[in-house]
Amino acid sequence: MSNKNDNKFGLQLRAFRKARGMTLAQLAAASNISTANLSKAENGKISPTYDVLEKLARGLDISFSDLVSEQGPASQAVASPAAGRISVNRGDFATTISTDQYDYTYLSADLKSKKMVPIIMRMKANAIESFGDLISHGGEEFLFVLRGIVDVHTEHYETIRLKKGESMYLDSSMGHAFIAAGKSDAEILTVATEPVDMTSGPLRGGK
């Protein structure tokens, strides 16, 4: 987790927790994160990275896309999404979360229970040494470089350098980090899948 000033997501996280009838301690235990960090996230003092968001979604028993949705918990009891849905992004319907490693802009945040999570990511780290631990999470992801040069570090392969217009597909459960090469900014579009058990069928627990 990282520092964050805007508390929009923190308030939404708290609303989801209360909608599920869970205490801070219960959600912390279900998500395998500390109660102190969960409290800080709800109060906007730290910002959760993608892998922590995934843990929170599991703990809340909702899909990842529901957690970062603009709609909040009001309609989370819908068992399956309606057919024929579309989402057009014109600078709206996006949720932005800033961490030490990345600025994440989650697109099509007006749609819940998506099978894919589209994100614009701006790299903040210019060296793997300043990134911290590699991040891993469920699912798979595709990334396309929009701007700059990106070094992709993984736990099993040598560093792969991608330039603007180049792309890559990877198993997200493998530790990985995206680094802006040199001193220039870099930005990618990434589309991640949700783990099957987070998107198959209706919500469990039904609180």
**Residue 152, C-beta contacts closer than 8 angstroms, at least 6 positions apart:** 143, 159, 160, 161, 162, 168, 170, 176, 177, 178, 179
In which domain, by residue range, is 159 found? 115-193
For position 95, what pLDDT does the model report? 80
| Token representation of residue 34 | 């500390």
For position 166, what pLDDT does the model report? 98
Q: Is residue 99 part of a domain?
A: no
Q: Are residues 184 and 127 in the same domain?
A: yes
pTM for the structure as a whole: 0.70
For position 35, what pLDDT does the model report? 94
| Token representation of residue 150 | 């990106």
Number of domain units in the chain = 2
For position 207, what pLDDT does the model report? 30
Q: Which of 55, 76, 97 is the last residue of a domain?
A: 76
Q: Is residue 147 part of a domain?
A: yes
- Running DSSP on this structure, what letter comes out for residue 113? S
Q: Which of 48, 76, 104 is the last residue of a domain?
A: 76
Which regions of the chain are under pLDDT 70?
1-6, 71-72, 74-82, 91-93, 195-207
Helix residue ranges per DSSP H, 61-190:
64-67
